[in-house]
Structure 1
Amino acid sequence: MAISAADVMKLRKATGAGMMDCKNALADANGDFDAAVQIIREKGKLVANKRSDREASEGAALAGVSENGKFGAIVVLNCETDFVAKNEDFVKKTKSFLDAAIANKPADLDALKALELDGRSIESHVTEQTGVIGEKIEISFYGKIEAESVVPYIHPGNKLATLVGFNKGGIDTQVMRDVAMQVAAMNPVAVDKSDVSQEVIDKELEIAKEKFRQEGKPEAMLDKIAQGSLNKFFKENTLLNQAFVKDNKQTVKDYLKSVDGDLTVTEFIRFTLAE
Structure 2
Amino acid sequence: MSQISAKAVKDLRDKTGVGMMDCKKALEENGGDMQKAIEYLRKKGAALAAKRADREASEGAVVVRISDASDAGVILELNCETDFVARGGDFTGFAESIADAALAGGIDSAEKMMNVSLGEAYNGETVEDAIKSMTGKLGEKIDLKRLGMLAAKDGIVSGYVHPGSKLGALVQVKAAGNDESEGLVKDIAMQIAASAPIVVERAAVPREYVEKEKEIFRQQALSQGKPEQFVDKIITGRLEKYYQEVVLLEQSFIKDSNARVRDVLDDFAKRHDTPIDVESFIRYQLGE
Q: Equivalent residues in 2 for 1:39-188 (5 A)?
A: 39-118=40-119, 119-147=124-152, 148-171=155-178, 172=180, 173-188=182-197
Whether the 8 Å CA contact 2:102–2:108 is kept in 1: the answer is no
1:233 to 242, 253, 260: 242
Q: Bigger CA drift: 167-176 or 203-212?
A: 167-176
Whether the 8 Å CA contact 2:167–2:285 is kept in 1: the answer is yes
Structure 2 partner of 1:3: 4
2:227 to 212, 218, 221: 218
Whether the 8 Å CA contact 1:59–1:82 is kept in 2: the answer is yes
Runs of 5+ consecutive residues of structure 2 not aligned to the other structure: none
User: Percent identity over the alignment?
Assistant: 41
TM-score of the aligned structures, taking structure 2 as reference length: 0.92
Runs of 5+ consecutive residues of structure 1 not aligned to the other structure: none
3-state SS of the aligned residue for 2:231? Answer: helix
The aligned amino acid for 1:257 is: D
Aligned residue pairs total 275
Quick one: distance in 1 between partners of 2:57 and 2:25?
28
Quick one: distance in 1 between partners of 2:200 and 2:36?
52
Whether the 8 Å CA contact 1:149–1:168 is kept in 2: the answer is yes
Deviation at 1:221, TM superposition (A): 3.6
Quick one: distance in 1 between partners of 2:249 and 2:95?
31
3-state SS of the aligned residue for 2:175? Answer: coil
CA RMSD of aligned residues (A): 1.4
**Deviation string for 1:35-78 (max 9, x for gaps)?**
00001100111101110111101111101112221111101111
3-state SS of the aligned residue for 1:260? Answer: helix
Quick one: distance in 2 between partners of 1:207 and 1:27?
67
TM-score of the aligned structures, taking structure 1 as reference length: 0.96
Deviation at 1:94, TM superposition (A): 0.6
Structure 2 partner of 1:194: 203
Deviation at 1:274, TM superposition (A): 5.5
